[in-house]
């Protein structure tokens, strides 16, 4: 269960694998001196061949960032075979999961969430950094507490303005949240992040995405036209101020789109126009319906966007064979106390293989939040049994 590729590094003790992707692993690691837990991204150097600029860009971006709502890069280690990014551990779960499990949820709650996101993105923009892949899956709660703050993660597609090749035109992001100018293959700016925030705000208030179609080509056409509605009855109880906020972020013309600074001054964020009515039942029902397992996220990767644009260039119509990748996530239950004081070390011989199998099962179903909880539980049981 312990990951052999992660070195001791003197200060850290490798603990347990909780994510394995095509190009990297993420392990839970404990700092020996403090007992603090961290997430360590382990990247094989052989996987970086030809992609060195990408990881260098991600590290350069992360090193510049220090904000309370952004997952921090704590340190970097290097071995002959691997690069190790020591990241702040966030354990509160994904945005949609937490909303679904709540019993009370209002426009004010949505406004408070979006304010944290806008404030963090405004900070990034002030440093000349564009995230380029803002979506609910990259918005995590710092801890399981009810009043936990939101954290922005995953800077793998981020870009620093003002560097070489300053004009951004690379096809990237998740199509459900990507701005029209990206799909249209036009040069774009930090305004693409503001569009994505508008899409996220839309979903937070109704529980379903503004753009949806099983056919990729038709979905892209909707986004290119900025074609969306505030459908009845789902938007009947939502304030005009909230709708105005979204309209101004989801402007087709990026020059007319609100900047983050302007968004922070909007009455729905800075004022008291966000309503206090409980909309949890309607929003959570739609979230479970539209983002449930087997349909969750309906998210594409950048390959789908590139394919779309290549076919546009060739003048071909896009078929519907390429389905959106689905990223189901867990819905964590309410916090429960676990008594492990009576567990004996001899009783724990089966635990490594058991917890590893359980974690891998959760990750197979893309239940990231539950996998983290599983790893932490294993650590607690093991610590109390020795």
Which residues does the annotation mark as catalytic?
A: 133
Tokens of 235: 């938007």
Q: Do 154 and 223 touch, CB atoms closer than 8 A? A: no
Question: What are the backbone dihedrals phi and psi of residue 329, each rounded to the nearest 5 degrees, phi first?
Answer: -135, 165
Question: Three-state secondary structure along the chain?
Answer: CCCCCCCCCCCEEEEEEEEECCCCEEEEEEECCCCCEEEEEEEEHHHHCCCHHHHHHHHHHHHHCCCCCECCEEEEEECCCEEEEEEECCCCCEHHHHHHHCCCCEHHHHHHHHHHHHHHHHHHHHCCEECCCCCHHHEEECCCCCCCCEEECCCCCCEECCCCCCCECCCCCCHHHCCHHHHCCCCECCHHHHHHHHHHHHHHHHCCCCCCCCCHHHHHHHHHCCCCCCCCCCCCCCCHHHHHHHHHHCCCCCCCCCCHHHHHHCHHHHCCCCCCCECHHHHHHHHHHHCCCCCCCCECCHHHHHHHHHHHHHCCCCCCCCCCECCCCCCCCCCCCCCCCCCCHHHHCCHHHHHHHHHHHHHHCCCHHHHHHHHHHHHHHHHHHC
């Amino acid at each position: 269960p312990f990951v052999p590729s992660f070195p001791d590094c003197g200060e850290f003790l490798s603990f347990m694998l909780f994510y394995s992707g095509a190009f990297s692993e993420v392990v839970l690691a404990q700092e020996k001196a403090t007992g603090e837990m961290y997430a360590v991204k382990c990247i094989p150097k052989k996987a970086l061949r030809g992609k060195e600029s990408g990881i260098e860009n991600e590290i350069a971006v992360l090193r510049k960032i220090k904000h309370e709502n952004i997952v921090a890069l704590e340190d970097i280690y290097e071995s002959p075979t691997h690069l190790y990014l020591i990241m702040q551990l966030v354990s509160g779960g994904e945005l949609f999961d937490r909303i679904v499990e709540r019993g009370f949820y209002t426009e004010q709650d949505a406004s408070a969430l979006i304010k944290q996101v806008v404030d963090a993105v405004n900070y990034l923009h002030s440093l000349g950094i564009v995230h380029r892949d803002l979506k609910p899956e990259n918005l995590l709660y710092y801890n399981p507490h009810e009043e936990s703050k939101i954290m922005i993660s995953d800077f793998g597609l981020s870009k620093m303005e003002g560097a070489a090749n300053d004009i951004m035109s690379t096809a990237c992001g998740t199509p459900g949240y990507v701005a029209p100018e990206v799909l249209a293959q036009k040069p774009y700016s930090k305004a693409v992040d503001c569009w994505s925030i508008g899409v996220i705000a839309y979903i937070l208030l109704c529980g379903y995405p503004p753009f949806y179609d099983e056919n990729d080509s038709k979905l892209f056409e909707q986004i290119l036209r900025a074609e969306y509605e505030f459908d009845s009855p789902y938007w009947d109880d939502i304030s005009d101020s909230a709708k105005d906020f979204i309209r101004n972020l989801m402007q087709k013309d990026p020059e007319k789109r609100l900047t983050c600074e302007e968004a922070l001054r909007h009455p729905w964020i800075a004022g008291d126009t966000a309503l206090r009515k409980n909309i949890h039942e309607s929003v959570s029902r739609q979230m479970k319906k539209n983002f449930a397992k087997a349909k969750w996220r309906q998210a594409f990767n950048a390959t789908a966007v590139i394919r779309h644009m290549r076919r546009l260039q060739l003048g071909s119509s896009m078929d519907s064979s390429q389905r959106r990748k689905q990223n189901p996530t867990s819905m964590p239950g309410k916090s429960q106390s676990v008594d492990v004081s009576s567990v004996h070390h001899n009783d724990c011989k089966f635990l490594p293989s058991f917890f590893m199998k359980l974690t891998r099962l959760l990750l197979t179903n893309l239940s990231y939040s539950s996998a983290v909880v599983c790893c932490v539980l294993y650590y607690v049981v093991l610590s109390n049994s020795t």
